[in-house]
Chain A
C-alpha cells in the first residue's frame, strides 16, 4: 500500500490537481465522440476551418489520447474560403498527423451537378450540400461529425445529437429518434448516415471561453484587423477579394473588423471590432447584443431558411 500512496503523491505533484476540470459540456462532447468511434465503421469529422470545428478537433484529441484521432477530417471547399483559413487548416492537419480529405464545390460546378448562383446575393453556401452528399457516397461515410450548435438557430434547436439522414441525405424533422439519458442509438441501414453534433449544447460563448481556457490557436480573421470593406443591408462585407459582388454605388472603406463565423466568404459578413486578443473577443461576445448568425445572410433569406436547407441535407 505504501508504494501506492507514494505513487499517488508523485502523480499529484506532477499535475497539481486531484481531479480534471468540471466542464460538463466538455465531458459530454468527449463521450459523444467516443460513441461515434465505437458505433460506426467509417466516421469523418467535417472540418470547415472555423472555430467550432477547431474546437471539435481539440475535443477529439482529448477523447482518444494518447492514440491519434481515429477518423479523417474532411473539408468541403467552396473555393471562396478566406485564405487564412486554408493556411491554418493545412498546418493543423500536419500537426495532428491525421488524414485530410478535400472535396471542391468547383468540381461539382464543373461536372454540371450544380449551377452557380448569380446576382447580388450569389453564394456557394447552398451548393456545398451536393458536394458533401457526393463525398459521403464516395467514401461510404456512415457518420459525419459536425460543429453545429443548437443555440445558433431555431431549427437547429430541435436537432438530435445523433441525427439520422436517409439515402438522399435528408433530415426528417418530424420523425427524429428520441434521445434518452446518455444513450445514443447509432443503428442505421446501409446507405443511411448519421450527422453527429458533439457540441450541440454549447453556446457561442462556451466555445470562445473554451478556446481561451485551452489556448487553442484559431485563424487570424477571428481577431480585429484592418480590412477594405463595403456596407450592404447594414452588414459589413469584405471588399478585398472578388468573391462578394460589389455594385458601383457601394463604396469601399477601410474598417477595423473581425469575423464571428468563418463560412463561405460570399455569405459571411464582418462585425466592427477592436477585439484583437482572445480575452477581448470573449469579453465582446459576453456583451454582444447581436446573435452570431445575425451576420449570416443565408439565414435571412426567410424565416424558415435553415430548416429548408437542413431538409435538403445541409450540414
Chain B
C-alpha cells in the first residue's frame, strides 16, 4: 500500500491537533479505548465537546501546558492509502521541528485561524515548506464556524496568501485552499453543508488523490553505498554486493555506471532484493547491486549512471537551518553527513541571514543561533558528490554534527 507522509504547521491554538484528531475520528481510525480516554478527559476538564488534541499531544509537559513541543507521528489509513502525519509545533522557537517534519514529507498542511488570517507565523510556515520543497501544500483555513462560514473571509485570506506566494522560490509547489472547521468536522473528511459556495474537495479527498500526481521529487539516480555484503560462504564465495537505497530515479541491470570518488566505470550485473534478482531497482528501494567488474567500493562511495555525474567538490554554498543551542560561527568545524557519507567541514563564512518570514536578509552576521536560517559557505576536507537541492532533494542536503556533543546541529540545502 502507498504511504504518504504529511507535515502539519500552525500556530498555537490554530487547532492543529484538533484537525488531526478529527481526521482520525472521521476515518474511524481511532479505536474505542482511545476514544473513551478522550471522552473521559474532556468531561473531566469540563468541555462540552471532544478535545481531539488529547489524542496527539503525547508528552506529559504537553498535556500540562496544552501545547505540542516535539514532532509526534500519527498514523491512519483509508482503503487506498496509509498516512503518516508528522505533527510539528508552530511556535517561533521550534522552527527546527518544522524543518524536520517537512524534510520527510511529501505533503504539508498549513493551518490558518479564519479569525486571524495570514499572520507572521503563516509566512514562516510557508517559507519553510517552500524552502524544503514539499511538493504539495494544503492551506486549511480553520475555525470557519467562528466566522459564520463566510465566503468573504475565506476569499480575503486566500488573496493574502496568494500575495505571499509571489515571493516563493520554488514555483512548482502545488497549493490548495480548503475552508474547514476541525472542531465541527466541516470539509475535513465530510463535505460541509455550511459552505455551499466552496466547490473544491475536502481535505481527505485531496489527500486521497495525491498519488495520481507524483508526490516525490524526481531527479537522476543516485546510489550511495551503505554497506558492502561479503558473505564468505561456500555458496557465495565471490559475492560482493553493494547495499544501498536508490534515490532520484531508477537503476537497471546493464546500466553503465561510474563509482565515485574513484571514477571507475563498470556495469550493473545484477540487482538483488533479498534472494531474488530484478531488472529494475526503483526509486526509494533498498537493494543490493553487483557489478560486472572487480571494483573497489566502500561505504560512502556512490554509484551513478555514466553521463549523469553530480558535482564533485570540496567547497559549497548552502542554505543552513541551525538547530543547536550552541551557535554556528565562521571558523567552526563540524562533521558533515551527506547521505551516508561523512567528511569534516569548516565554516568559511556566513554570507547573510535569511528572515524566514520573507522580510528580507541581514548581512554582517557574526553567528547563527538556534532556528536561524542563513546562507553559509563551507570548506570540506574531502570532496563530496552532490547535486543542487533544487535538483535533488536527497543528494542536495546534508546535516552538520557537532563533534563535541554529537548532536545534529543543523541541516543544509546545497545551492
Q: Kindly specify which of A83-91, A151-159, A273-281 makes contact with the partner chain.
A: A151-159
- Name B248-292 residues within 8 Å CB distance of A: 250, 253-254, 270, 272-282, 284-288
Interface size on B, residues (CB 8 A): 81
- Name A59-100 residues within 8 Å CB distance of B: 61-68
Q: Kindly specify which of B31-39, B144-152, B155-163, B356-364 makes contact with the partner chain.
A: B31-39
B residues near A111, Cβ cutoff 8 Å? none
Check B279–A18 contact: CB distance below 8 A: yes
Q: How far is the CB of B388 from chain A (nearest CB, A)?
A: 15
Check A181/B226 contact, CB under 8 A, given A68-B231, A291-B33.
no
Q: How far is the CB of B248 from chain A (nearest CB, A)?
A: 12
A25 within 8 A of B: yes
Check A303–B63 contact: CB distance below 8 A: yes
B residues near A22, Cβ cutoff 8 Å? 2, 282, 285
Q: How far is the CB of B23 from chain A (nearest CB, A)?
A: 14
B394 within 8 A of A: yes
Check A66/B58 contact, CB under 8 A, given A201-B73, A289-B31, A289-B32.
no
B residues near A35, Cβ cutoff 8 Å? 226, 340
Q: How far is the CB of B265 from chain A (nearest CB, A)?
A: 16
A residues near B3, Cβ cutoff 8 Å? 24-25, 201
Check A183–B339 contact: CB distance below 8 A: yes
Check B286–A27 contact: CB distance below 8 A: yes
Check B335–A187 contact: CB distance below 8 A: yes
Give the distance in Å from the alpha carbon of A205 to the alpha carbon of B245 in the complex.
25
Least CB separation from A154: chain B residue: B58
Check B288–A65 contact: CB distance below 8 A: yes
Give the distance in Å from the alpha carbon of A63 to the alpha carbon of B236 in the complex.
16
B residues near A15, Cβ cutoff 8 Å? 276-278
- Name A2-48 residues within 8 Å CB distance of B: 4, 7-8, 11-12, 14-15, 17-28, 30-31, 34-35, 37-38
Least CB separation from B68: chain A residue: A158
Q: How far is the CB of B281 from chain A (nearest CB, A)?
A: 7
Check A66/B275 contact, CB under 8 A, given A34-B243, A185-B401, A205-B77.
yes
A residues near B369, Cβ cutoff 8 Å? none
Interface flags, A160-188, vs B, CB<8A=1, else 0: 00001000000001101111111101011
Check B279–A19 contact: CB distance below 8 A: yes
B residues near A188, Cβ cutoff 8 Å? 406
Chain A interface extent, by class: 35 or more
B residues near A38, Cβ cutoff 8 Å? 226-227, 299, 340
Check A291/B60 contact, CB under 8 A, given A38-B226, A61-B274, A182-B394.
no
Check B58–A158 contact: CB distance below 8 A: yes
Give the distance in Å from the alpha carbon of A157 to the alpha carbon of B58 in the complex.
7
A residues near B72, Cβ cutoff 8 Å? 154, 157-158
Check A180–B408 contact: CB distance below 8 A: yes
Q: How far is the CB of A68 from chain B (nearest CB, A)?
A: 7
Give the distance in Å from the alpha carbon of A7 to the alpha carbon of B290 in the complex.
14
A residues near B180, Cβ cutoff 8 Å? none
B70 within 8 A of A: yes
Q: How far is the CB of B67 from chain A (nearest CB, A)?
A: 13
Q: Which of A64, A154, A180, A303 contacts B103 (CB 8 A)?
A: A180
Least CB separation from B41: chain A residue: A303
Q: Kindly specify which of B93-101, B134-142, B201-209 makes contact with the partner chain.
A: B93-101
Q: How far is the CB of A99 from chain B (nearest CB, A)?
A: 17
A residues near B329, Cβ cutoff 8 Å? none
Check A8–B71 contact: CB distance below 8 A: no
Which residues of A come within 8 Å of B, CB atoms? 4, 7-8, 11-12, 14-15, 17-28, 30-31, 34-35, 37-38, 61-68, 150-151, 154-155, 157-158, 164, 173-174, 176-183, 185, 187-189, 200-201, 203, 205-206, 288-291, 294, 303-304, 307
5 new A-B contacts, CB < 8 A, other than A15-B277, A183-B340, are A24-B3, A34-B243, A66-B229, A180-B100, A203-B75
